[in-house]
Structure 1
Amino acid sequence: MLERLQYVKQRFDEISDLIIQPDVIADQKRYVQLNQEYKALKDLMEKREELINVTGNIAEANEIIADGSDAEMVEMAKMQLDEAKERLPELEEEIKFMLIPKDPEDAKNVMVEIRAGTGGDEASIFAGDLYRMYTKYCESRGWRTSTVDMNEGTSGGFKEVIFEVTGEDVYGTLKFEAGVHRVQRVPQTETQGRVHTSAATVMVLPEAEEFDVQIDMNDVRVDFFCSSGPGGQSVNTTKSAVRLTHIPTGLVAQCQDQKSQHKNKDKALEVLRSRLYEQELAKKQEEDATKRSSQVSSGDRSAKIRTYNYAQGRVTDHRIGLDVFDMDGVMNGKIQKFVDELQLVNNMEKLKESEVF
């Protein structure tokens, strides 16, 4: 293990030197990538130091016990040995997972798009519930959310809502939320108490930097229109909302939530860039899927991933067969158990494929 980590240390020392070089700092794309790698390797270097200390403690304790000349020292050495032997396998397991090659997208911020699916008004209400669930979860993680665009449902909730999430390792945490979410409950509009099944689709797009996707504005049609929904006096009188259409792909992005036309255009461009980037990423994920069949693939947006059964108070993740009996907690943002289990299964799959060990 320490031998393997020696190669990692050499890379860490190399990056530590590179990120202070003027030519690297001037190359924004390379500088950002190297800083992300530096941060990941820094955590690994801390574990390496702990591993050196633990293995050193084991060797030292064994020497004292073998010598046996001081009974009190031998007793202390035995306690030290027990503690170190208990910690060693845990530490090695932690390091194994940290050595799994990370997805370079994981550190990115995201655009989350929630769209009501089958189920009419109830689907829109459910899309609103998911929006609240995710914003509460983001708040618990200390991430910042900002609404980009929304189309409200006729009986509450949203036909569609798009929001941006910024923070640490956002895409790596939320990417497995992409897919079809299904709800089974008695709708507010149901008079005979029958359970209905409705659905909403969640898309999680890694936010693309300008150097990730170059957009030729000659390929983009820009339309301005009046904002709708709640707002100030300028709503429906000033054409501040912006819609961008990428002619080569037909992709459309719009924003009407910012206060000025200029800000709406900038935000719509961010969404368009993320959608173009996600399109390329989806191709790559499809290629990767042919190499390995991951249970928790984040690429298939049409897959039914989770069911929220209100009558039974149960939320089921179908990919890993996980049931959580805490409907109120989940809908109030307590989804960390799903996040942890999905990441664990994904890491285990990667570990099996890895040639590191």
Structure 2
Amino acid sequence: MELIEKSISSIKPLNQEILAKANERLANQARPAGSLGMLEPVSARLAAIFGSLDVRLDNKVIVTCAGDHGVTDEGVSLFPQAVTAQMVFNFVNQGASINVLARHAGARVKVADLGVNFDFDPALPIFHKKVGKGTANFARTPAMPRGDAVKSVRAGIEIVSELLAEGPVEMLGTGDMGIGNTTPSSAVIAAFSGIAVDKLTGRGTGIGDAALANKIRVIAQALDLHRPDPRDPFDVLAKVGGFEIGGLAGLVIGAAAAGIPVVCDGLIATAGALIACELAPAAKAYLFASHRSVEVGHRFMHEHLGVEPLLDLGFRLGEGTGAAVAMELLDAATRVLCEIKTFEEVAIVDAQK
């Protein structure tokens, strides 16, 4: 717990002086006030994170955390667990959706094995952070011991440190891979919010009506059986979470502690962000929601966190794909603040005043 506690205590508040200057510049730019919508507060917050009006996001990384889930034994997914490991190799070989979209955004993709049920060669160029070979079936027993929940969060923090040892990082994207992981993610938001499971559980990989009803039953049964305590994020993670969800939480905490903005992806990455912000409320200032997926629970996650997603593209893939697309908007936001001239700079009389 020492690394986690140290990281949480290291998260600094945003630079309020720079935030005020950024908002003043935005208000005085030669265009109608508020005309660039969400790009305006986003650009100001990025400036406050970096302490500069001229932010350059030259070094962007997306970390895709992978893990398997014992709850797939309950028939909650269309695909078998073996696909998780196969997709890890696809990421490494640059053949997946996230690789394509990250290249377009100018971001590197790094994969982290938090809990895949497969023995990867230690020489494989990924973060080898395996806590266990898949979680237990939480329909019957807790997903993991509490100690493993702590280990998974710590692993995410360690990944941030290891990335920074390789070189500078100006933006971190979080993504996931894990067959069946919409089930624990839905359980996590149900545990924190108290909202009925049937209102926030979606179809994941595209399951039919009967399988969806079964998925809802499995989650409700697990919550009733284990009674995760919403006041204790580690209890929620241990009882109904996943190793990669813990790793994703650690990424958010580690990045915030290092002063790095985090753009989180879909349902699973946002489940990790929920855990992170429940453990470290100050981390939310560094968090950007990339998009709203078609998974119904994602909206409830955003509402619980009090964040607005930048995009709504009908995505339901994960991997960090939404984060990659949103990074391009975040790049644009930095230029909006710095490069659009003010009325004074272009000698235009501001008719709004």
State the TM bucket, normalised to the shorter chain: under 0.3
Structure with the bigger RCO (C-alpha within 8 Å, sep 6+) is 2
Which one has the bigger strand percentage?
Answer: 1
Larger Rg: 1
